Homo-oligomer: A and B are copies of this chain.
Amino acid sequence: MRTLRITVAYDGTDFSGWQVQPTQPTVQSAIEGALREIEGKPVKIEGSGRTDAGVHALGQMASFRLENPIPPQNLKKALNRLLPPTVRVYNVSEVPAGFHARHSATAKTYEYRIQRAETCPPFEQRYTYWHPFRLDEPAMIAAAPFFEGERDFRSLASNDRAAQMAEIAKTTVRTIYSSRLSRDGDLLIYRVRGSGFLYHMVRNIVGTLLEVGRGHLSPTDITAILDARDRAAAGPMVAARGLFLVEVEYEN
């Protein structure tokens, strides 16, 4: 049995997220379906984490075990032939037995794209969150780094009660290495790298930054929001369409 790791990019628009669901199309199901054709029997894959419906990935990682001796480069081609064009495998590599895309991950980077153009280009409406309204961008840019550090991010947990309870039962402490917002043409781009993220955490951070942009919060309020350890203290969650899982890092 070999252990393999794949790097996958996908347009999440037409998927009900990453994780297998009984009747909905998901990215994991699409990849498992392709692997089943190659292996001749079911193959279960482990993603570095799930992404929600509408969330995209530039560099999602997944691992699985395979008996088929097909070389990595050929497996990549076979997968891309079998998968829909909205899911692309960019890399396949052999990894040591015991490697697990989720457990072995040491850091993740997400990007959230806010479209500031007066009219959202039709080619970007699947990939950006359109917000043409007045925002105090310098305040938002100043607020973003306040999320950095090792902290209890319970205030930014999901409103989904079951997910929140499961996370609180373990720990809601995470380390954010970098949390920055910048302008790139018509886009306001939030980029965050951390040891891990709570469910919906990035979208809740961006929703909170938007509250700063609207003048409802000031940059220095962020610390108090985190200290409150209360979901109600932070801003509302933003739409999935602007979110990209950019990179997953592993040791070595």
**Known contacts A9-B123, A85-B125, then 17 further A-B pairs from the complex at CB < 8 Å, ordered by chain A residue:** A9-B121, A10-B122, A11-B122, A56-B122, A56-B123, A80-B119, A85-B120, A85-B122, A85-B130, A86-B125, A87-B122, A88-B119, A88-B120, A88-B122, A90-B119, A123-B126, A123-B127
Q: Interface residues of A: mostly helix, strand, loop or mixed? A: loop
Q: Please report the C-alpha to C-alpha distance between residue A204 and residue B85 in the assembled complex, in whole angstroms.
A: 24
Q: For chain A residues 71-97, which have a beta carbon within 8 Å of chain B?
A: 80, 85-90
Chain B residues with CB under 8 A of A120: 85, 88
Chain B residues with CB under 8 A of A11: 122-123, 125
Q: For chain A residues 104-134, which have a beta carbon within 8 Å of chain B?
A: 119-123, 125-127, 130
Chain B residues with CB under 8 A of A80: 119
Chain B residues with CB under 8 A of A119: 80, 88-90
Q: Please report the C-alpha to C-alpha distance between residue A127 and residue B56 in the assembled complex, in whole angstroms.
A: 17
Q: A158-172 interface mask toward B, CB cutoff 8 Å, 1 = contact, 0 = none?
A: 000000000000000
Contact residue range for chain A? 20 to 34
Chain B residues with CB under 8 A of A121: 9, 88
Q: For chain A residues 191-219, which have a beta carbon within 8 Å of chain B?
A: none
Closest to A122 in B: B11
Q: Please report the C-alpha to C-alpha distance between residue A127 and residue B125 in the assembled complex, in whole angstroms.
A: 13
Best-buried of A9, A87, A122 by chain B (most CB within 10 Å)? A122
A-B contacts, 21 of them at CB < 8 A, read A9-B121, A9-B122, A9-B123, A10-B122, A11-B122, A11-B125, A56-B122, A56-B123, A80-B119, A85-B120, A85-B122, A85-B130, A86-B122, A86-B125, A88-B119, A88-B120, A88-B121, A88-B122, A90-B119, A123-B126, A123-B127
